[in-house]
């Protein structure tokens, strides 16, 4: 899984370099596919089916711009503009194991509110990484994530959560970024060896979202911007190991 995570980190790093005004999200998708093939990996998202959509997901990346929360479809017609924020979600399977990560990228100079939103969302993920270790209940971490985001004046998306990950992209348990009655009733005790994809999605406005007619793209219900960060982490003795970090080197 460390090797899969290193591929994901490398692709996302390259896409962050390329994401500039005038670049289409289809161009970013093409680069992701090229790098995935060179690594001998399989793009996790391409071809995934959903009961809400008439066609499988067509891209290797989810490319979500501004008010798009998740599952934005890469397209030649979506050309990045100065002041946009772009959330890129990407995953691969390599050697039978998966890695999954996301980052929100400023396109040129962005507004102060967008900057705060991006920084807060990244810091919300950092809260989870700092707190995750064996013997801690996930509700404790989710509560700290939620309080951090809301203290900055933002809201946590409730409709989408993180997940376990391994030989499949989505495995149990569900890993929310907020505290709910459901979580408290069936809390997750972190244990050494667990692998989780933790992915806060934070909205500048209200937490509500809606699905577009393509059956894939989810946008904020009020049109406010959204940001998304994600890492695949392994729970290890004394803390956690970020498998999709740019600094994570693959090992045999």
Distance set, CA 187 to CA 111, 176, 181 (Å): 38, 11, 10
Tell me if 36 sits within 8 A of 8, measured CB to CB: no
The per-residue pLDDT string of the chain (252 residues; one tens digit each, 9 = 90 and over) reads 999 999 999 999 999 999 999 999 999 999 999 999 999 999 999 999 999 999 999 999 999 999 999 999 999 999 999 999 999 999 999 999 999 999 999 999 999 999 999 999 999 999 999 999 999 999 999 999 999 999 999 999 999 999 999 999 999 999 999 999 999 999 999 999 999 999 999 999 999 999 999 999 999 999 999 999 999 999 999 999 999 998 754 444
pLDDT at 203: 98
Whole-angstrom CA distances from 73 to 42, 76, 113 are 18, 10, 25
Query: Residue 248 has what pLDDT?
Result: 54
Q: How many CB atoms lie within 10 A of CB 48?
A: 16
Report the pLDDT value the prediction gives residue 246, as an integer from 0 to 100. Answer: 81
Alpha carbon distance 79, 248 (integer Å):
31
16: left (phi over 0), alpha (psi -120 to 50) or beta: alpha
CB atoms near residue 11 (< 10 Å): 29
| CA max distance for the chain | 48
Q: What is the DSSP string of 114-155?
A: HHHHHHHHHHHHHHHHHH--TT-BHHHHHHHHHHHHHHTT-E
CA distance 161 to 217: 16
Cα(85)–Cα(103) distance, rounded to whole angstroms?
Answer: 10
Question: 2-242 has which CATH code?
Answer: 3.90.230.10
Integer angstrom CA distances of residue 57 from 5, 6, 50, 64, 244? 22, 24, 8, 14, 23
Strands (E), 59-96: 61-65, 68-70, 85-94
């Amino acid at each position: 899984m460390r090797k899969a995570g290193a591929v994901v980190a490398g692709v996302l790093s390259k896409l962050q370099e390329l994401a500039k005004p005038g670049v289409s999200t289809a161009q970013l998708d093409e680069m992701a596919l090229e790098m995935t093939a060179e690594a001998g990996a399989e793009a996790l998202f391409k071809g995934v089916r959903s009961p809400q959509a008439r066609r499988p997901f067509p891209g290797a990346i989810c490319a979500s711009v501004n008010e798009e929360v998740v599952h934005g479809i890469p397209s030649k017609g979506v050309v990045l503009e100065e002041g946009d924020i772009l959330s890129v979600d990407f995953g691969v399977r390599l050697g039978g194991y998966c890695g999954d990560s996301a980052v929100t990228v400023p396109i040129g100079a962005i507004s102060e509110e967008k900057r705060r939103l991006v920084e807060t969302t990244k810091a919300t993920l950092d809260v989870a990484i700092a707190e995750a270790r064996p013997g801690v209940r996930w509700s404790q971490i989710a509560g700290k994530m939620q309080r951090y985001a809301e203290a900055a004046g933002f809201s946590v998306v409730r409709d989408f959560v993180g997940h376990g990950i391994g030989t499949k992209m989505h495995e149990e348990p569900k890993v929310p970024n907020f505290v709910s009655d459901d979580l408290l009733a069936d809390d997750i005790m972190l244990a050494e060896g667990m692998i989780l994809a933790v992915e806060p999605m934070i909205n500048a406005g209200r937490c509500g979202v809606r699905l577009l007619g393509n059956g894939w793209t989810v946008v904020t219900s009020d049109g406010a911007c959204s940001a998304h960060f994600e890492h695949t982490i392994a729970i290890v003795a004394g803390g956690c190991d970020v498998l999709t970090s740019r600094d994570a080197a693959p090992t045999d």
